Structure 1
Amino acid sequence: MTGPEASERVPVFRRLVQVYATAALLAVVDLSLKSWTMARMPAAQVFDFGILQLRPTYDTQSDSDAVEFPDRILLIGMGLAVIILGAFTLHAAMAGHTPDLLASALILGGATAELVGRVEGRGHIEYFYTGWLPDFNLAEVWLIAGVCLLGLAALSRRQARR
């Protein structure tokens, strides 16, 4: 492959590799912290850092008070969501907008970590507690940060077009 076609595909491929590698790293960081807290901390132990506490708990809820989904259905739905996020990442890499790429990495990393964390069947692991928010973990932080960044990027592009 030569010419402009080849020069365009290399940056897209490089961006995809960077986004997927970043997402994988974020998922590994969250899963490592989950694993460490469950292996090293007894259920009743709490590390208090002032506004933030580190304490391991299993959340068995499907995040919906109205409907309880069977674990298999929940895992299939989450798996499909991760696949769709991967496709969106491909689209973002082709467009090449840096905020979209970072947001994609955050969202994909968080979603992947949540999916992998649920596979064992005991619920997903929460390890941060503030007292004024529900328990949460880094994967949820990655997801929320990614969605916020994606929204800000869309707003900034909209403002730039005006």
Structure 2
Amino acid sequence: MTGPEASERVPVFRRLVQVYATAALLAVADLGLKSWTMARMPAAQVFDFGILQLRPSYDTQSDSDAVGFPERILLIGLGLAVIILGAYTLHAAMAGHTPDLMASALILGGATAELVGRVEGRGHIEYFYTGWLPDFNLAEVWLVAGVCLLGLAALSRRRARR
């Protein structure tokens, strides 16, 4: 149930706590998996799960090199993006749109994990390998899934208005 009906049943504060707690758990899951894989990195182990391999690596070429910004500017921009996402989550909680809240939790969790991972400074950690996609990590999965869910939610609201 979305819209005003959901707003009347679940207080805004409780929805916010649920979304922020979910985002924190998603970020901790990614950071925990990064920590676990990096502890195994010296042995250069590859865990093969068929279509997906767990193969830790540092992506030492910073994104700031690609866009020509100093690393600090990139971190400040990413931090501001996380703050803006948190503010959007407040808006979504007040509107009572459940799909937007779920998408916000995924996006906020992924963005927070990416920010914390980049602050560490040794390089961006990637650990999933498929062979046909670039290496990626769980935070990037959260981000892509959240953006897709947000797009689907916007499309469903648009169709419902017609």
For residues 152 and 7 of structure 1, what CA distance do their matches in structure 2 show? 21
Contact 1:55 1:129 in 2 (8 A): yes
Which portions of structure 1, spanning 4 or more consecutive aligned residues, are displaced by more than 6 angstroms?
1-10
2:4 touches 2:95 (CA, 8 Å); kept in 1?
A: no
Aligned partners of 2:47 and 2:54 also within 8 Å: yes
Number of residue pairs aligned between Structure 1 and Structure 2? 162
Deviations along 1:67-97, whole A, 9 cap, x unmatched? 2332211111110110010000000100011
SS of the residue corresponding to residue 110 of structure 1 reads helix
Q: Report the more deviating stretch, 42-51 or 116-125.
A: 42-51
Which blocks of at least 5 consecutive residues in structure 1 are unaligned?
none
Structure 2 regions of 5+ residues with no counterpart? none
TM-score (norm 1): 0.90
CA deviations 1:96-141 (Å, max 9, x no partner) are 1100000000000000000000111112210000000000000000
Question: Bigger shift: 121-130 or 43-52?
Answer: 43-52
> Greater shift after overlay, 23-32 or 5-14?
5-14
Residues 1:5 and 1:48: Cα distance change in structure 2 (over 3 Å): closer
Cα distance in 2 for partners of 1:125, 1:139 equals 10
Secondary structure of the 2:68 match is coil
Structure with the higher helix share, 1 or 2: 2
TM-score norm. by structure 2 comes to: 0.90
Over aligned residues, Cα RMSD in angstroms?
3.9
**Aligned equivalents of 1:43, 1:145: Cα separation in 2:** 32
